[in-house]
Structure 1
Amino acid sequence: MEAFSQWDFPISNHSNLQCFLKCTTPTVEKRMKTCNGEAKKDLNEGFKLSELWQCFTEWSAYGVAVPILLNNGDRVIQYYSPSLSALQLYTTKPFPSSSDDHQINLKFRGRDKMNKTASNNNSSCLGSNATTRDGDDSCHKMTTRKCGYLYYQYNETTSPYDRVPFNEKISELSKQYSGLVDLHSKDLSPYSWMAIAWYPVYQVPGATNVKELSACFLTYHPLSSLSLGSQNIRLESEKVDGKRSGMSMREEICLPPFAMITYKMFGTLWISPDTSDFDFVLCQRNAASYWLKQLQFHHHDFNFMSRQFQNSASCPP
C-alpha cells in the first residue's frame, strides 16, 4: 500500500467517476508578482490558448493518472490518453487574421457535409462554418449574431486508436490556424468550447478481467473567460523553502466539464450509491445533447457514444 500513498483514492462517499473528473480537469497556472514595483495581475484576465495547451504536454506524452478503487478493495492507477474530439472557436469580434488564414477559412467553408460523408474513410471534419450550407447567408448571419464570429471548428472522425495525442493535433492544426495558440480567452464568446476524448491505455499494477476499466469518456469544456465564474479561479501563496511567501502568488484557472457522455461504463465501479452520480451522468449527457443541438453541430464522437449509451448498464431500464 505504501506505493499508493501519494495518490488520492476515492473514499466511501466519493466515487471513481468524481476522481476521474478531478484528475482530468484542465488547469491553467499563472504566477503573479505582488511587490518590487510590479502590479498585481487582474484575476479575471483569463489566459491565452497556448497557456491552456501546456497542461496537456505531459498528459499527451504519458497519459493522465487516475487512482481507482476496485470493487474487491484493490487499488490501481489507470492512465487515460486525451485526444481532441471537437472544437469551436467563436470570437466576439472579427479575428484580425492574416490573408492566408482567411483564404484557408474560405477554402474549408461548407465542407461539413462532405466530411460527414467521408467519415467512413477515417477523415477529419475541418471547417470555418459549423452551421451553414454554401450560400445560406441568412443562417450564417443568425449564427454570428447569436454565437459570435466563427474562427475555426474541428470534428474528429478517425478511429480512437488511430488518433494522435492532444498536443500533437493542436500543433498540427495551429500551423494553418494561428489563432489556436494566439487567441485569448477574453476574445472568445461563451459559445467557444472543446471536447476531449479519454481512452484508457494501461493500469499500474495491471488488472485483468476487470471490464469496468475499459470505460471511455467524452468531456466538454468552456474556452471563454465569459463562461467562467469566480469558482473556477484559485489563488494561493507560493511556497519558498517550505514556507509561504507573500511575494508571489499562484493563480489556477480550472476548466471543469459542463457536459459529458460515457462509453462502456459497466457495473458499479464508477458510480457510488452514496452519491448523486447516477443522476449526474444522465444530466451531463443531456447537457451535451442540448449544447450540440443549439449549435447545430453534428459531433461524431457524441453520436457514436450516444448510440451505445442506451445499452450501457449505467442507464435506467
Structure 2
Amino acid sequence: MSSRRNSASSSRHDGNQQLQVAKESAAEAEITSSGRTSDSIPSVSSHSVSKVTNLDRLLESFSPLVPSRFFSEAISSGSEALDADSHPFFCLEDLWESLEERSVYGAGVPLVLNGKDQIVQYYVPYLSGIQLYKDPSKPSSQLSSSSPQSPFFQYLEYEKPYDRQPLTDKILDLASQFPELNKCRSCDLLETSWLSIAWYPICRIPIGPAIEASFLSFYSLSTRSTGKFPPQFSAANARARYDPTDKKFSLPVFGILSSKLWDSNLNLVEQHEIEHQNSLVQAVDNWVGYLKVPLLDYHYFRPRHYSYRITGFWTRDNPN
C-alpha cells in the first residue's frame, strides 16, 4: 500500500467539509456536462438519463479496475504454446491499491433524484467479508494448504459500520499478519473465492438532504475457468473481465443488497431496473447459502433490503 494512506486517511477523518471544498466546484461543473466525473464515471447528462439507471451507475462505480500482470514465460497447454499475454491475472495487492483513493475520499457516484435532480453522492468502502480458496495441489508458502471446501484465508467483519476502518486500512492490518492477502494471484484462486464490500454514504454534491442508502456488494476474485462453477450462480457470468487495450481487469458486482434505499429519493421505479436488482439479490442469497457463510452484514442488510421503514442496531441514531 502507498505510504500516503496514513496522512490521507487522517484528512478524511477530519470531516467531510474538506472533501466538499476540494471537489465541489469541479463536480458541479462535470455533473451537468457531457464529460466524465473525477472518478472516471460517466456523468449524468440529459441524453443518458433515460438509458442508464441509478442502479447501473452504482454498479459501475462500485466495480474496481485492477491493473493486470503477466507470466514471464510462455505457458504451454498440451502441445500448444500460448502467448503469456493470453493469460493475464491480477494480484490482490493491486486490487487493494485500486481501492485506496476511494477508501480515503469516497467513490463519487453520479445519480438522478426524483427523475430530475442530478448529484454526485460519495460512498466510502469498508471490508465486509472475504474468503480465499486455493487448489490444494498448490500449497501456500505462508499458510498450510486446505481442501477446496474450506478457505485458506477468511475474514468476516463483526464491527459496527461506523467503528470500522476504511477498506484499505483494514487490509493493511490483516496483511501484516497474513502476507498472502497481498501476494495471492487471481489465477491461483478457486472460483469460490469472493469479496464483499459495504459502501456507506459520506456526502453529496451539490449539498442537499442526506442520502442514507447504503449498499453491500459482492465480487468474484478468481480468473480461473475450470468449468466446475455451480451453474445456478450469476457470479459465473460476472467474473473479472479483462480489457486487452487498457490491460486492466474490471471486477463487476455479481450481487448487491441495500439498506434505506426505499427511504431515499433513489427509488427504483423502472420494471427492468427492479428485475435487475432482484436478480442481484437472488445471486447473493444463492452465494451465501451455498458456501454457508456466517456473514454479519448479510444478516443485517437482507431483511432491510425491501423495507420502507428502517430500524436496527446499526444506525447512527441507534448504534446499539
TM-score under structure 2 normalisation?
Answer: 0.70
Looking at structure 1, the residues matched to 195 and 69 of structure 2 have their Cα atoms a distance apart, in angstroms, of: 25
Matches within 5 A, 1:42-191: 42-71=85-114, 73-93=116-136, 94-98=138-142, 101=143, 144=147, 147-148=148-149, 150-191=151-192
Q: Report the secondary structure of 2:114's partner residue.
A: coil
Q: CA deviation at 1:287?
A: 1.3
Alignment pair present for 1:232 and 2:233:
no
Q: Which has the higher contact order (CA 8 A, sep 6+)?
A: 1
Deviates further, 189-198 or 15-24: 15-24
1:190-229 matched pairs, under 5 angstroms: 190-208=191-209, 213-226=211-224
Residue 17 of structure 1 aligns to a residue whose secondary structure is: helix
Tell me which residue corresponds to 1:13. 51
Counterpart position of 2:61: 23
- Residue identity over aligned pairs, in percent, reads 28
Rg larger in structure: 1
Amino acid at match of 1:216: S
Cross-structure match for 1:251: 247
Residue 297 of structure 2 corresponds to residue 301 of structure 1? yes
Deviations 1:200-258 (A, max 9, x none): 000111112x5xx211110000001126779812222xxxxxxxxxxxxx312111111
Q: 1:185 touches 1:225 (CA, 8 Å); kept in 2? A: yes
Find the counterpart in structure 1 of residue 274 from structure 2. Answer: 278
- Asked whether the 8 Å contact 1:76–1:207 carries over to 2, the reply is no
RMSD between superposed Cα atoms in Å: 2.7
Contact map agreement 1:16 1:269 (CA 8 A) in 2: no
Larger strand share, 1 or 2? 1
Q: Could you list the runs of 5+ residues in structure 2 that have no partner in the other structure?
A: 1-27, 38-42, 71-81, 226-235, 310-320
> Secondary structure, in 3 states, of the residue corresponding to 1:226?
coil
Aligned amino acid, residue 84 of structure 1: L
Q: Is the 8 A contact 1:84 1:195 kept in 2?
A: yes
**Residue 312 of structure 1: how far off its partner (Å):** 3.7
- Report the count of equivalent residues: 249
SS in 2 for 1:175: helix
Name the SS of the counterpart of 2:104 in structure 1: helix
CA 1:31–1:188 in 2, change beyond 3 Å: closer, same or farther?
closer
- Rounded to whole Å, the distance in 2 between the matches of 1:214 and 1:149 is 36
Q: Which runs of 5+ in 1 are unaligned?
A: 33-38, 106-140, 237-249
- CA shift, 1:270, in A, is 3.3
**Residues of 1 paired with 2:49 and 2:123: CA distance?**
21
